[in-house]
Amino acid sequence: MIYARNLVKRFGDFTAVDGIDLEVAPGEAFGFLGPNGAGKSSTMRMIGCVSHPTSGELRILGMDPVGEGSKIRGRLGVCPQMDNLDPDLTVFENLTTYARYFGIPRAEGRRRAAELLEFVQLTEKAGSTVEPLSGGMKRRLSIARAMINEPDLVLLDEPTTGLDPQARHLLWERLFRLKQRGVTLVLTTHYMDEAEQLCDRLVVMDGGKIVAEGSPRHLIEAHSTREVVELRFGDETPASYVEKLAGIGERLDPLPDRLLLYSADGDAAVSEVHRRGFTPSSVLVRRSTLEDVFLILTGRTLVD
Amino acid sequence: MGGTFAVLERHLTLYRRLWQASVFSSFILPILFVVSIGIGVGGYVSDIGGVSYLAWIVPGVLASTAFQQAVGESTFSVLGDFKWVRGYHAMRATPVRIWDMVAGWLLYIVFRVLIGAVAFLAVSAFFGAIHSAWVVVTPLVCALLAVAVAAPTIAFSARIENDSYFAMLFRFVVIPSTLFAGVFFPVSQLPEALRVLAYLSPLWHAVELCRSATLGVAPPWPVWAHLGYLVLWAVGGSLLAYASYRRRLKD
Ligand SMILES: Nc1ncnc2c1ncn2[C@@H]1O[C@H](COP(=O)(O)OP(=O)(O)OP(=O)(O)O)[C@@H](O)[C@H]1O
Ligand SMILES: [Mg+2]
């Protein structure tokens, strides 16, 4: 579906995507996880054949995105990071006018529009203009619009950013259904729970480079410990405890508000902290997540 | 071709929602103009070249309305589709090509100008200001003029970031063109230097073609020269528009 070798995108002197390699197979749900400015959208736009790579090799659906861009785009569904719906058209018209861009006959466009509105639960809003819709509804409409040409490959750039938890869960559930139908999904996100929920495989991007690759489970196993203990102390900064707790677990990461202690056995690590005579104001033992992987790999948190 | 018509269809769908906003400027204002100037001012002005002042300015107002409409429609809406609505970015993600975006918009402008011209001619005929059956070609002249001026205007709109440039476009290009392109008085009244400016303006050529058609007289230059000049603008403007759209949508 997607094949990239040493893909580079520069804007002037600035290198937004710095030599990445990718391969996405049919039916896969593939994710780009990374903080702001990592180069996720720049990569997605190259895959979507709207931005030309500066250098490197890129093949989409076995075709060349520069020479055969229009043909490839006909088989892609794209939900951009920034919504570009027509605010003065109705929800329904947004879908039917977009269908025409793909050369879909009018009657067929109307049939698919009705079906997709059902799918994203916007049927009641079909006749409303887009302007007054909530952010979550607009996002759902963007996703429905991306499906109008029954694409082989769907590109979703931060599909759930800015949505409340309920709207996010609804979207996840819809995307999961697409995946079950065998649609290849490529999405970007800075939410690790989203990546864990939706992606079979993902890459962690930072500063235009891929810093890790694998399934969510594989990434956690390879880069983190099974459990993580979050310790908060009332008196001094978390950093000041790094030395005092040295040797407990496999790794200690001080954050501004808490100390992360990586250990295969969280409870044992907590006992050891108490044995050394420290009493944190709060203790949380949890399973390791992609967020931890990201922190370990880049020294930074994903979402500030 | 399919892509071009899909783009046209989107603009028409939007127009169907928003047409009320432009009724005054496209239909009512030109008619008020003719009524007030042609009938009011016409009473104080002697005939020009043997025809009433009303009959003389009708083709001028016809062409200048097409001109203003084609330029006016191609400013905020086009910039908005790049900057705020991002409608062009939406098209860019589909098989629609840059040429389809440019041609779809120009066809839409032609549609808008044609319905405006036909409505205006109907009212003018009612006032007895049409003197020749050649009037049937004037909507086509207006359509050609519309492409000739809308194409460079969308090229301009695709290149700017800020809508304050449009005020300058109107102040320094559109209004002077309308005043000195033979709409309200013959350019022969102008000093030599200004007359050259009128010849450069596509509007003057369209005005003269329309006037010769509604009055049934020969235009000042050969018809092919007037038409050729307008075609030159249309082709050159479209190439510019293509380059500007491409540049704007590059990354
Ligand atoms: N058209 C452009 N011109 C110049 N610089 C750009 C352009 N597009 C992106 N960049 C820069 O490239 C870098 C990567 O941007 P990109 O949008 O790909 O990041 P991202 O991972 O999608 O970030 P976010 O999570 O904020 O969406 C950023 O520093 C950005 O400023
Ligand atoms: Mg982005």
pLDDT tens track for B105-118: 999 999 999 999 99
Q: Stretch B144-161: mean pLDDT, rounded? A: 97
Give pTM, 2 decimals: 0.90
> How many CA atoms lie within 13 Å of B34's alpha carbon, on the beta-carbon side?
29
pLDDT of residue B37 exceeding 80, the answer is no
Q: Average pLDDT for residues A244-255, to the nearest whole number?
A: 84
Report the pLDDT averaged over residues A135-163.
92
Q: Looking at residues A244-248, what average pLDDT do you find?
A: 83
Residue A302: per-residue pLDDT: 61
- CATH superfamily, region A225-287: YebC, transcriptional regulation domain (3.30.70.980)
**A135 has pLDDT over 70:** yes
The tokens describing B53, both together, are: 């002042």
Mean pLDDT in residue range A73-99: 96
Which atom number of ligand 1 is nearest to the Cα of residue A40?
A: 21
What's the mean per-residue pLDDT of chain B?
Answer: 92
- pLDDT at position B10 over 70: yes
Does residue A303 carry a pLDDT above 80? no
Burial class (CB in 10 A: 0-12, 13-18, 19+), A173: exposed
Q: How much is the pLDDT for A238?
A: 84
Distance CA B233, CA B201 (A): 10
Find the CB nearest A48 among B85, B93, B249: B93
In terms of pLDDT, which residue wins out, B51 or B1?
Answer: B51
Instruction: Closest CB to B94: pick one of A89, A102, A129.
Output: A102
Lowest mean pLDDT among A200-214, A281-295, B39-53: B39-53
Centre of ligand 1 to C-alpha A205, Å, is 13
pLDDT at residue number A263: 87
pLDDT of residue B168: 93
- What is the average pLDDT across A237-245? 83
Residue contact A89–B93, C-beta within 8 A:
no
CB A26 less than 6 A from any atom of ligand 1? no
- In ligand 1, the atom with minimum distance to the C-alpha of A9 is 12
Nearest CB among A84, A87, A100 relative to B89 is that of A84
What is the ipTM for the molecules in this complex? Answer: 0.91
Q: Which of A46-60, A216-230, A257-271, B49-63 has the highest mean pLDDT?
A: A46-60
What is the model's pLDDT at position A36?
86
Classify each residue of A158-168 as buried b or exposed e, where b means 16 or more C-beta atoms within 10 Å of its C-beta: bbbbebeeebb
> Distance (Å, rounded) from C-alpha A204 to C-alpha A195?
10
- Residues contacting A90, CB < 8 A, separation 6+: A126, A127, A128, A129, A130
Strand partners, B48: B51
More confident residue, A221 or A210: A210
Ordered by start, the domain boundaries in chain A are 2-218, 225-287
Q: Given pLDDT bands bounded at 50, 70 and 90, which one contains residue A293? A: confident
Q: Which residues of B touch A84 (CB under 8 A)?
A: 85-87, 89-90
pLDDT, residue A81, reads 92
Domain A2-218 classification at class level: alpha beta
Query: Is the pLDDT assigned to residue A235 strictly greater than 80?
Result: no
**DSSP 8-state assignment for residue B174:** I
In angstroms, the CA A187 to CA A171 distance is 13
Mean pLDDT of A61-75: 94
- Res A220 pLDDT > 90: no
pLDDT above 70: residue A304: no
Closest C-alpha residue for ligand 1 atom 8? A42
- Amino acid type, A292: D
- Do residues A190 and A33 lie in contact, with contact meaning Cβ atoms separated by under 8 Å? yes
Instruction: Mark yes or no for CB contact A45/B251 under 8 Å.
Output: yes
A91-105, A289-303, B25-39: which range is least confident on average?
A: A289-303
Q: How does the average pLDDT of chain A come out, rounded?
A: 90
> Which of A64-78, A84-98, A217-231 is least confident?
A217-231
Distance, CA A74 to ligand 1 centroid (Å)? 25
| Residue range B178-212, pLDDT digits in tens | 888 999 889 888 898 889 989 999 999 999 999 99
Q: What is the pLDDT of residue A208?
A: 93
Choose between A247 and A89: higher pLDDT. A89
Residue B36 has pLDDT above 90, yes or no: no
The number of beta carbons lying within 10 Å of the beta carbon of residue B35 is: 13
pLDDT of residue A240: 84
SS3 B3: helix
- Residue B230 has what pLDDT? 98
Average pLDDT for residues A173-196, to the nearest whole number?
88
Nearest to B208 by CA among B189, B181, B188, B190: B181
Average pLDDT in the A31-57 region? 93
Residue A281 has pLDDT above 90, yes or no: no
Residue A197 pLDDT > 90: no
Q: Which residue did the predictor score with more confidence, A169 or B147?
A: B147
What is the best residue among A8, A10, A20, A40 to mutate for testing ligand 1's pocket, by most ligand atoms within 8 Å of CB? A40
pLDDT over 60 (residue A92): yes
